[in-house]
């Protein structure tokens, strides 16, 4: 399997800690390695200092060098390092590190980009046992070095970039063009007919340039007629198949546990409370304070149930959160210290955040993923996801879309 790199060494965590300590000491840093009690997460892994500059470092070891292992651990390390930075005197710079036996260069770059976009105040580093040292932020790029030449064995794997046709904003504008055919109870989006890119941009709340690119790309691909009359999507079934296939790219999921024993009913209450504060803050402060908090919503099977078309039960709930912040998790009553098999809630951080959050439906104060997002998300889920997606297609999407297909 591509991207699968087992870590057989039992003592690799201790070895990784020695590598990190040596790396900073060689660059003239004074390193204080914290000694944690067993099963304790009350202390950071390292505190380092040099020339009146202080860092607090949180280190995670990945069992494999795959993207779906590296990014969640790096995000968790960033979250914890940020927490320690705020708690410690002088607020040292937070640094999140992840190590593994081998981390492909493409995975390291994607992980750095993902976390830096969401936590720019945190310095990021990835290390492996073959010599890779890849850092970003707060001047730590001086620690960078490529992997040892002897490790470059076999053909290079080139990461294929996501097609621009279904970029984040393009997915949102696609929902806007489909919205007149879908009931407002299933999709929150403007409903109208648009003569060109400028009108589409105004309705969708995007730049005119983004809308022009959307029209150009979808017209070139044969999915949009933009001549006489309003913009009109064509070859819908083919387009939706392509959209569904593109949506199966791996997203970041972080397993969470309740701080206190709760359940899905409590989760809905917490989401309603968060949304109410978000809305009230926007009204009271003219969008200057709480509206900057991360957006969130219920997702996947729990969202399908909230939309009145639930089919699969017994799956732990999923929520979308725009970015991980310790105060948000605390407000929801969640802790990130969970293993996949012991999770109470799965938190998703989407790459296509505008498409996800702009279409969110309000169900009695509960923010819920729109019907297109639920259909896209559940399709490949192992817990009868295909059956749930098929039900959404038969009952809602097909009657609304195929009946109006020219």
- pLDDT for 7: 39
- pLDDT at position 6 over 80: no
229 located within any domain:
yes
**Which residues span the domain enclosing 51?**
12-151
Is 134 found in the same domain as 168?
no
What confidence score (pLDDT) does residue 129 get? 80
Give the span between the Cα atoms of 293 and 299, in whole angstroms.
Answer: 19
Per-residue pLDDT of 335-368, as tens digits, reads 876 666 678 888 988 888 899 999 999 999 999 9
- Secondary structure of the chain: what % helix, strand, coil (to 5)? 45, 15, 40
* pLDDT score, position 276: 83
- Of the two residues 181 and 254, the one the predictor is more confident about is 181
User: d(Cα 298, Cα 32) in Å, to the nearest integer?
Assistant: 42
Bridge partners (DSSP) of residue 204 are none
145 inside domain: yes
Answer with the residue of higher pLDDT: 336 or 1: 336
**Residue 2 resides in a domain:** no
Q: Which residues pair with 349 in a beta bridge?
A: 252
Instruction: Give residue 29's pLDDT.
Output: 85
88 and 65 in one domain?
yes
Mean pLDDT, residues 264-283: 76
pLDDT in tens, 164-202: 788 899 999 999 999 999 999 999 999 999 998 999 999
Distance CA 178, CA 396 (A): 13
Chain centroid to CA 207: how far?
23
pLDDT of 290 strictly over 50 = no
Q: What is the mean pLDDT of residues 243-256?
A: 77
Based on the fold, state whether residues 114 and 40 are members of the same structural domain.
yes
Q: What is the pLDDT of residue 12?
A: 65
Q: Taking 90 as the threshold, does the pLDDT of residue 396 lie above it? A: yes
Range with the poorest average pLDDT among 115-124, 152-161, 285-294, 335-344: 152-161
pLDDT: is 130 or 42 the higher one? 130
**CB contact at 8 A, 60 and 98:** yes
Mean pLDDT over the full length of the chain: 82
Q: Are residues 142 and 20 in the same domain?
A: yes
316 shares a domain with 232: no
Q: Could you give the dihedral angle defined by the CA atoms of residues 298, 206, 352 and 273, in that order, rounded to the nearest 10 degrees?
A: -20
In a domain, 200, yes or no: yes
Containing 334, the helix (H) or strand (E) segment is: strand 334-335
Last residue of one domain, picked from the residues 119, 151, 183: 151
The whole-number pLDDT of residue 249 equals 63
Please check whether residues 66 and 195 belong to one and the same domain.
no
Q: Mark whether 90 and 220 lie in a shared domain.
A: no
The answer to whether 116 touches 130, Cβ cutoff 8 Å, is no
H, E, C per residue of 290-318: HHHCCCEEEEHHHHHHHCCCCCCCCCCCE
177 and 145, same structural domain?
A: no
Residue 17 makes CB contacts below 8 A (sequence gap 6+) with: 33, 45, 59
Residue 356 CA to residue 373 CA, distance in Å, equals 7
Residue 270 predicted with pLDDT over 80: yes
My answer on whether 202 and 124 are in the same domain is no
pLDDT-based confidence at residue 128 (cuts at 50, 70, 90): confident
pLDDT for the residue 114: 92
Q: What is the mean pLDDT of residues 189-216?
A: 92
Examine the domain organization and report whether 282 and 186 are in the same domain.
Answer: no
158 has a pLDDT exceeding 60: no
Indicate the residue among 151, 180, 203 that finishes a domain.
151
Which tokens sit at 79?
A: 């979250």
pLDDT at residue number 148 = 57
- What's 237's domain CATH number? 1.10.10.10
Query: 356: buried, middle or exposed (CB in 10 Å: 19+, 13-18, 0-12)?
Result: buried
**What is the pLDDT, as a whole number, of residue 34?**
59
What is the DSSP-derived secondary structure letter of residue 247? T
- Same-domain pairing of 272 and 293: yes
Alpha-helical regions (H) of 259-406 = 264-284, 300-306, 326-332, 353-358, 371-378, 385-392, 398-401
pTM: 0.61
Look at residue 13 and tell me whether its pLDDT is greater than 90: no
- What is the predicted pLDDT for the residue at 8? 36
Number of domains in the chain: 3
Q: Check residues 102 and 4 and name the one with the higher pLDDT.
A: 102
Is there a contact between 34 and 41 (Cβ–Cβ < 8 Å)?
Answer: no
| pLDDT value at residue 225 | 87
Q: Let me know if residue 159 belongs to a domain.
A: no
d(CA 330, CA 41): 16
Residue (of 342, 336, 401) closest to 372 by Cα position: 401
Rounded distance, CA 144 to CA 147, Å? 10
Residue 344 and residue 324 share a domain: yes
Residue 100 pLDDT exceeds 50:
yes
Cβ(241)–Cβ(165) below 8 Å: no
- Which domain CATH number covers 73? 3.40.1350.10
Percent of the chain with pLDDT over 70: 83
When pLDDT is cut at 50, 70 and 90, the band that residue 387 belongs to is very high
Answer yes or no: are the C-beta atoms of 169 and 175 closer than 8 Å: no
Q: Chain centroid to CA 339: how far?
A: 18
Domain boundary among 246, 269, 285: 246
């Amino acid at each position: 399997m591509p991207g699968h790199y087992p870590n057989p060494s039992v003592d690799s965590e201790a070895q990784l800690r020695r590598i990190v300590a040596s790396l900073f000491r060689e660059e003239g840093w004074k390193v204080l390695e914290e000694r944690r009690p067993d099963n304790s997460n009350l202390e950071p892994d390292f505190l380092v200092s040099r020339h009146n500059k202080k860092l607090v470092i949180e280190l995670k070891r990945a069992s494999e060098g795959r993207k779906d292992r590296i990014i969640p651990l790096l995000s968790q390390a960033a979250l914890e390092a940020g927490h320690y930075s705020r708690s410690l005197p002088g607020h040292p710079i937070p640094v999140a590190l992840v190590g593994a036996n081998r981390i492909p260069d493409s995975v390291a770059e994607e992980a750095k980009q993902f976390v830096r976009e969401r936590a720019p105040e945190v310095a990021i580093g990835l290390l492996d046992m073959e010599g890779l040292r890849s850092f970003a932020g707060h001047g730590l790029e001086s620690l960078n070095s490529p992997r040892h030449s002897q490790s470059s064995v076999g053909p290079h794997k080139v990461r294929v970039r996501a097609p621009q046709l279904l970029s984040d904003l393009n997915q949102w504008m696609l929902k806007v063009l489909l919205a007149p055919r879908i009931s407002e109870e299933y999709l929150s989006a403007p409903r109208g007919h648009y003569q060109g890119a400028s009108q589409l941009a105004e309705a969708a709340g995007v730049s005119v340039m983004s809308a022009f690119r959307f029209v150009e790309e979808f017209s070139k691909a044969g999915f949009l007629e933009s001549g006489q009359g309003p913009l009109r999507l064509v070859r819908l079934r083919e387009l939706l198949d392509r959209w569904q296939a593109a949506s199966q790219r791996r997203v970041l999921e972080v397993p969470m546990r309740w701080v206190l024993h709760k359940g899905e009913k409590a989760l809905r209450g917490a989401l309603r409370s968060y949304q109410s504060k978000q809305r009230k803050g926007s009204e009271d402060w003219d969008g200057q304070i709480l509206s900057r908090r991360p957006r969130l919503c219920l997702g996947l099977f729990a969202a399908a149930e909230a939309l009145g078309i639930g089919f699969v039960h017994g799956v732990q709930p999923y929520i979308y959160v725009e970015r991980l912040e310790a105060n948000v998790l605390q407000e929801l009553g969640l802790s990130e210290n969970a293993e996949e098999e012991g999770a109470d809630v799965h938190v998703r951080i989407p790459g296509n955040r505008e498409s996800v959050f702009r279409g969110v439906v309000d169900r009695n104060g509960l923010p819920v993923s729109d019907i297109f997002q639920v259909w896209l998300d559940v399709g490949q889920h192992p817990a009868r996801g295909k059956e749930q997606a098929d039900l959404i297609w038969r009952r809602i999407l097909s009657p609304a879309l195929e009946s109006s297909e020219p």
